[in-house]
Chain A
Amino acid sequence: MRKLAFIALTGALALAACGKKEEEAPVTNNLVEPPVENVIVDEPEVAPLPEPTNDTAEAKPLAPPTVSEQQQIEDDAAATGMTARLSPDESSNGAD
């Protein structure tokens, strides 16, 4: 008797869960949509041009560029405030 009650309860819960799932399912009118194989597609005579895209958009990252140690030091020197002293002739107030 207890076993029967348990089976009934399990079944009820299962149905409830299914019912809830049914409610949450996205609304799709499957009956109206024709099967895919029956859709008539108008093929254009000329294939459309692909959307303009950057030619590296789907590429993998490139290997880091090779930078010599000296070049790296000079780049870092520029970043930290390239402080080579200017001669009075170089230090002008005019815009280049």
Chain B
Amino acid sequence: MKRPDLIHISAISLLAAATPAPTLALAQPPVVAPTLPAPAPPVVLPPAIVTPPPVPLPPLSAAQERWLNDWLKGGAEQGLMARDKATRPLQGDALLSAVIDRARALGTGRVDRADFLDIWALRPTPIDPRPGLAKAISEDRLPQWANGLTPPYAGYDGLRKGLANYERIRDSGGWATLTAQSAPDAVRKRIAIEDKAVTATEKLGDVLQRAQRRYGLNPTGLLDARTLKELNVPVEDRIAAIMANMERWRWMPRDLPVNRVQVNIAAAVLTVFEGDQPISSMRAVTGSPDNATPMLSSSIHSIVVNPPWNVPASIAKRELWPKGRAALARQGYKIVGTPETGERIVQPAGPNSALGRLKFDFNNPFAVYLHDTPSRAKFSSYDRLASHGCIRLEKPVPLAELMVASNPDLNGKIQSLIDTGKTQRVSLPKEVAVYLLYWTAFASNNGTMSFRSDPYGWDKLLAEKIEASSRRADPTAATAPTIASKD
């Protein structure tokens, strides 16, 4: 059978993969590489940073000193410190030192690299603000320099505006707690605090549905328990969520590729951007709180059509081996020998494979990927954090078609490749950047804020880590009760 040249096909005989012949497997590794139990990749430490002599900073004019002191007071607007934190005017080296600290905080966030969780694998690139600051001082372009420090994206800017709005709400007294017996006008008034589109004559059901969509809940239009819970989250907690998300934005690269796939793990949705514009989106199923999907960036390099599932050892031990070999065989699993671990379980490709018909491969040390699934029912749910860490896709075939569309030999051929039933790896004409992100607060185009619950507890943990990092930097600093209190 003739196949397009660019399809890197190696028809894998599942039988061969399942044959307990370790030496053969070593000599001819399957095209579909085992996802696990790959040995833990060695921790690659960043290259040692050889610190060059610091760039000398020109003396500041009086006007520049005033401007920088005013700028330092603006940390609250970027979610770095409490709004009413007093700062005394600084001069000379103390001022420059504070400016450089602020520049680093805005550029890369405030969490020490050593404090990152392993699965917060999206790390900011370290920056040295001194050369830019020296140039800005000498050219008298401090505002332009300062504007260039923050993430230049609408997502961050929407959070910045949202922060100002929610601080106004807090300063005005916040919102009243609702109960199931609250009068319709009280519910409408409460929601209108956050949603400027609410009108006095609008049906309450419509108002509630809009709010439920902002919280990622089933839009029933009813004031049910989960809706009440979200509406009763204190405004201070919403502010903390916005600030945590602004911090994560600072970890993002400043120059994202214009073509990319982005996943919000917390909201379990995926969006495809082409030329910086969203062109497609779909629901996803992401890791359960016990199997958190990591934050990371990588590039999808190939798609495996009709993939077998090499069951990770942890899942096999917890969920499959206890069933017994006979039951596993009845359910279609194969047990194959491996030189590393002795035996592993493989679920052959097919309609019931846990990976469905397509698997999107990208390099990462967590053995996670995007894939199809035979379990479609979960996509109609509003609670979709249920996987072992991988990302299950609602519409994998259209996504694959988008990724191969630029190759005439592959364009429109994904379904026919699936229909062959053969396992084969398709290299993408061009790698596609993929970002697995964790957003629990985000602004829509009209500025209205949406929130998701913090399913992994990472917002709270981030606040604690910022606190710890700040305390190390300034041991005399008083313990702050919330993320909002530290610079």
Contact = CB atoms under 8 A, between A and B. Distances in A.
Interface of A: 51-57, 59, 61-62, 64-65, 72-86, 88, 90-96
B205 A59 contact: yes
B222 interface: yes
A82 B181 contact: no
A73 B281 contact: yes
A57 B435 CA distance: 41
Q: Which 7 A-B pairs have the closest CB atoms?
A: A76-B281, A62-B221, A77-B278, A61-B220, A80-B262, A95-B164, A84-B154
Contacts of B278: 73-74, 76-77
Contacts of B158: 78, 82
A86 B153 contact: yes
Contact of A54 (B152, B163, B165, B182): B182
Interface in B197-233: 204-206, 208-210, 213, 218-223
Given A51-B181, A81-B264, A94-B77, A76 B153 contact: no
Nearest to B149: A93
Contacts of B437: 80-81
B153 A80 contact: no
Contacts of B152: 85-86, 91
B205 A56 contact: yes
Interface in B256-291: 256, 262-264, 267, 269-271, 273, 276, 278-282
Given A80-B271, A82-B155, A93 B77 contact: yes
A72 B281 contact: yes
Contacts of B219: 62, 64-65
A82 B154 contact: yes
24 contacts: A53-B183, A54-B184, A54-B187, A62-B209, A64-B209, A73-B278, A76-B270, A76-B278, A79-B269, A79-B271, A79-B450, A81-B442, A82-B154, A83-B153, A84-B153, A85-B276, A88-B147, A92-B147, A93-B78, A93-B143, A93-B146, A94-B74, A96-B160, A96-B165
Given A61-B222, A88-B147, A93-B74, A76 B182 contact: no
A76 B273 CA distance: 11
A82 B153 contact: yes
Nearest to B210: A65
Nearest to B222: A56
Interface residues of B, number: 65
Interface of B: 71, 74, 77-78, 143-144, 146-148, 150, 152-155, 157-158, 160-161, 163-165, 180-184, 187, 204-206, 208-210, 213, 218-223, 249, 252, 256, 262-264, 267, 269-271, 273, 276, 278-282, 435, 437, 439, 442-445, 450
B438 to A, nearest CB: 10
Contact of A83 (B209, B222, B262): B262
B154 A54 contact: no
A57 B221 CA distance: 10
Contacts of A91: 147-148, 150, 152, 157
Contacts of A51: 181
A25 B279 CA distance: 67
Nearest to A96: B161
A82 B151 CA distance: 12
B227 to A, nearest CB: 10
Contact of A81 (B71, B155, B222): B155
The winner among A64, A75, A81, A90 for most chain B CB atoms within 10 A is A81
Contacts of A59: 205, 221-222
A52 B71 contact: no
A95 B160 contact: yes
A79 B442 contact: yes
Contacts of B450: 78-79
Contacts of A76: 269-271, 278, 281-282
B271 A73 contact: yes
Contact of A79 (B71, B160, B222, B439): B439
A91 B144 CA distance: 10
A86 B161 CA distance: 14
A81 B208 contact: no
Contact of A77 (B180, B187, B273): B273
Given A52-B182, A61-B220, A62-B205, A78 B147 contact: no
Given A61-B220, A80-B263, 9 more contacts: A56-B221, A78-B158, A78-B450, A81-B264, A83-B276, A91-B147, A92-B147, A93-B147, A94-B74
